[in-house]
Structure 1
Amino acid sequence: MARAIWTGVITFGLVTVPVGLFTATEDHTVHFHQLQRGTGDRIRNRRVNERTGEEVSPADIVKGYEVGEGEYVIVEPDELEEIAPGRSKTIEISDFVDLDRIEPVYFARTYYVAPRGEEYLKVYELLRAALERTGKAGVATFVMRNKQYLTALRAEDRLLVLQTLHWADEVRDPGRELPELPSRRAGSGKELDMALRLVDALSGPWEPRRYRDTYQEKVRALVQAKAEGREVAVAEGPPEATGVVDLMAVLESSLVRAGASGSGRSGSRQDSGRGASARSGSRRSGSAGKDSGRAGSRASRPERARPPKDRERGASRSELRQLSKAELYERAGEQGVVGRSRMTRDQLVDALARPGRRTAGSAA
């Protein structure tokens, strides 16, 4: 069983619950030792006295802050501990914020939070359930290993999770740091429509076990091959960048490939499996057969051929659910649905099926 890397209390209001923090992730990187080329002798890092060249024991090392050339203020470890907020043992929640309002760039490391004793389970679960019901995260600070952290405490299925956050002044402004950014947003057009269809075709549930670190696998294979005196195949270089002239052709080919591979995707999205039910009323023409490999094929959906006045009367939810998100988005654009760019697939269905819906024209 793992050992807690930090123990203390979480406080919110006047409620206090003793907890321990446990590391949630581990590193699977292949680690190498440093050797001298030609001799194979091991290279080690040692702490040495700069003046005498003698090695110094960790117990004899203190922290020093340079206030002038060669002049230092000495700070002992226990002095840092004494000034730490809450004496380094308190995670004090100061605010509750909507979890989805915290930008991903702020998240750093993740820790599991566990109650320190059976008698604290009720209070622990009370906080977890409150965060889960509200979709909130508890924003708090605490000190660990002589460093203060900004954190977000959030709920998972059966436990609390603490995620350290970067401070605001640690997050760089992309507008200042990046040399090139688009001058305007993509609004509409055939390229965007096809890009939306491609995203929809490649969409599926989050299944982390489907992904693996293939680079580390190749590193291990390289080490094994060299140990056995075998040659290792060199990896291919990156593909060429897509030019503006070739964009439509590349998107078309991508959709064909996604349609061909989508049927075999493990855990693919629900609407990709509608198959026979969506095609039961489709035309059996040669063109339909040609497009059957494409995700979001228009030929396989008879309601796409309805006259405009029929669209204005709206469609049933069952009809709309047979459309891909890209097609729903396109229809929402034709009918002027406000806020469509921020809607999920289900929200687009609701907006299009709702009688007397608000459009861009009616909102004026």
Structure 2
Amino acid sequence: MNSVKRVSGLLGLAAFALPALACNPVTRSNEEVYQPPPSLALVAIVDPSQGRLPAQLRQLQDVIKSGATPNEAIVVMLLEPSFGATYVVQKGDSLSSIAAAHGLTLAALEAANPQLGPLSGRNWKLIYSGEHVLLPNGATPGALLIASKAPTGPPPPNLVRIPAAPNNPTDYQRAQHEHAVASATSTNQSRIAAWNDAVNQALQPWQAQVVAQLDGVSAANTVARQPDASMLAASLLAAQITLQGLKGRRVLLVLGGGDAAPSSLPAKSLDGVELVIANLNDAGATARWESAATTTGAVSVTALDAALTQLKLAQVVDHQT
């Protein structure tokens, strides 16, 4: 299992060296703590109609197996015609008061909004004015298949700063500096690689757990209607609300229903989000998605047909090369 793809991308940019890994490494004056790439926050939408679900969940399993990041969050939801209404948090609100005001149990409200709890490293009791809360209507009690968070993993290593180049150096000073840079860079790479290996070991059990959960879902006999534009819009809204509360590199993965591409999406609704649409069969869907996402603030829009989904899905989601 190659579980360190997502945490090794900045290797060439590292300008540091570090002491041996420890539970609480001491930072020296010539050191800084390595800043790894942000953790992945992935919300995936899958289509339960016409027997499509098992294949899409296997694709998602391949993504999980290909790599993981410390504190990674993953949410998997079904395409559904309705997830309920949206409520904007007001000053003085709590989840308990919101639930009571709308005739919901606190447990049901929390289940519909995993982004407001431990999945994003938060306490359920802390919500903020302006946040969006999904008010479930009870029509789709099993729509949220998985909400899981990866372990923190080992602490990032300490890395030594590259020495500054001397002014007007002699040949000897220049050679000394080049040697110091090469030595530090080599040490950086080996120490970051060691940290990546430690991350790999720490996160493998979580990856296996999520894969097993997806196995259980794909064995279920789920029946649903053929997705249409309104169903996709409702599912996208629920996914957007979830992503807004998650931290890290946020990715919205539409594994099913993408051929019903929307004609438009709300402005700024995908601000800072990478949008990936997979398993497209309609040749015109790519252009429709790109047009619809123009004003959403999405970081990127990647559309994959069925063949490219098999070849490149994990690479796109994981930023692998």
Give the number of the structure whose alpha-carbon radius of gyration is greater.
1
Do these two structures clear the TM 0.5 threshold for a shared fold by scoring above it? no
TM-score (norm 2): 0.22
TM-score (norm 1): 0.20
> Greater relative contact order (Cα 8 A, min sep 6): structure 1 or 2?
2
